[in-house]
Amino acid sequence: MVNRFESLAAPGIRKLAPYVPGKPPEQLERELGIKDSIKLASNENPLGPGPRARAALAASLAGVGMYPDGSGHVLRARLAARHGVGLDQVTLGNGSNDVLVLLAETFLTPEVDAVYSQYAFAVYPIAVQATSARASVAPAHPADHRMPLGHDPAALLAAIGPRTRLLFLANPNNPTGTWLDAGELDALLRAIPPEVVVVLDEAYHEYSVGMSVPDGTQWLARHPNLVVTRTFSKAYGLAGLRAGYALSHPDLADLLNRVRQPFNVSVPALLAAAAALEDREHLEATIALNRQGLARLREGLSALGLKVPLSAANFVLCDLGRAAAAVNDALLRQGVIVRPLANYGLMNHLRITTGTAAQNERVLAAMAAALANGA
């Protein structure tokens, strides 16, 4: 159907395809008339919020009749103390997705470029196109690389030109689960021109601790053009509340906070996120459950003859070796929601979030049935 207002929209908006979230269980159950479906499509924490966040969330109800603190002082102060940075280096977002969009709005125009890797997070191209900036997409590593389909630092550097203003880099990467180690990331940051703002998206950082994935916040003092983004949606289990943040040089944070809407993080989100930061026990339980889930999914899927590379996040990338649509449909009919990746150009792949032990066994059983039935 023709949109009567299409010609009035900004050029970047006219051909923009919106982000498609994972299918909610309620929608699947309405469509297929089934019950008890599970969702392992959106990289959510199966444990949900911890007890401290839940208590803070309950207490926050008394304050929802008033606007939140527009500066988010308490949460920003805790984040500054946690990361050893100044209060003026913290920018809050309605999830880290909001911060990514703020960065695009702040630095991109139709006259400049942004760089990101092939198979990088789908929000990057959306944020870039919405500003009518030009995207320069760096080819990823091949499927037989030690980091299959992951970022190629040499290709990212080659994609940078005189018009480049932003470089988006997720570490670990979504949807591949791959990562750059400390040596690779350090060399890349040193080689990027200082006038290019580097957005290091560390949404899955907590899950990668103990692996060879570096903590990008350690390079903030060395690289004034670096912005590190984090979220409470993943390991902290607060996806529905929408709270995230960026750490950067104070001058960069000043620009972001000029664009940031004053009440972009709600009263419940501010309080629950601040409490979640202090709940080390819940975070450790989440990480332990995820490590077990990654191992079990890789073991079970590999036993079915599927390729499942290592992941430093809370999901696995499953290469079916053939078009994934039929298998995905068969899983849906068994009440198992995973993420097909056709929108990433990965037609043969599914992304599967780790769940509880019971959920992991259910997805493995559903996959075995789907394959046995010729899907």
pLDDT at 21: 73
Six-digit token pair at 40?
């392992």
pLDDT at 80: 98
Report how far residue 320's alpha carbon sits from residue 336's, in angstroms, rounded to the nearest whole number. Answer: 17
pLDDT, tens digit (0-9, with 9 covering 90-100), for 182-232? 999 999 999 999 999 999 999 999 999 989 999 999 999 999 999 999 999
pLDDT at 19: 67
Report how far residue 242's alpha carbon sits from residue 240's, in angstroms, rounded to the nearest whole number. Answer: 6
Q: What is the mean pLDDT of residues 136-165?
A: 97
- Is the confidence at residue 6, as pLDDT, over 90? no
Q: What is the mean pLDDT of residues 151-172?
A: 98
pLDDT, tens digit (0-9, with 9 covering 90-100), for 299-318? 999 999 999 999 999 999 99
- Is the confidence at residue 11, as pLDDT, over 90? no
pLDDT at 374: 79
- Is the confidence at residue 65, as pLDDT, over 80? yes
All domains in the chain, ordered by first residue? 22-48+281-372 (3.90.1150.10), 51-277 (3.40.640.10)
% of the chain exceeding 70 in pLDDT:
100
pLDDT at 163: 97
pLDDT at 224: 97
pLDDT at 210: 87
Confidence of residue 172 (pLDDT cuts 50, 70, 90): very high
Confidence of residue 8 (pLDDT cuts 50, 70, 90): confident
* Three-class HEC string of the chain: CCCCCHHHCCHHHHCCCCCCCCCCHHHHHHHHCCCCCEECCCCCCCCCCCHHHHHHHHHHHHHCCCCCCCCCHHHHHHHHHHHCCCHHHEEEECCHHHHHHHHHHHHCCCCCEEEEECCCCCHHHHHHHHCCCEEEEECCCCCCCCCCCCCCHHHHHHHCCCCEEEEEEECCCCCCCCCCCHHHHHHHHHHCCCCCEEEEECCCHHHHCCCCCCCHHHHCCCCCCEEEEEECCCCCCCCCCCCEEEEECHHHHHHHHHHCCCCCCCHHHHHHHHHHHCCHHHHHHHHHHHHHHHHHHHHHHHHCCCECCCCCCCEEEEECCCCCHHHHHHHHHCCEECEEEHHHCEEEEEEEECCCHHHHHHHHHHHHHHHHCCC
pLDDT, tens digit (0-9, with 9 covering 90-100), for 345-360? 999 999 999 999 999 9
Report how far residue 356's alpha carbon sits from residue 85's, in angstroms, rounded to the nearest whole number. Answer: 35
The per-residue pLDDT of the chain, averaged, comes to 95
pTM for this structure?
0.94
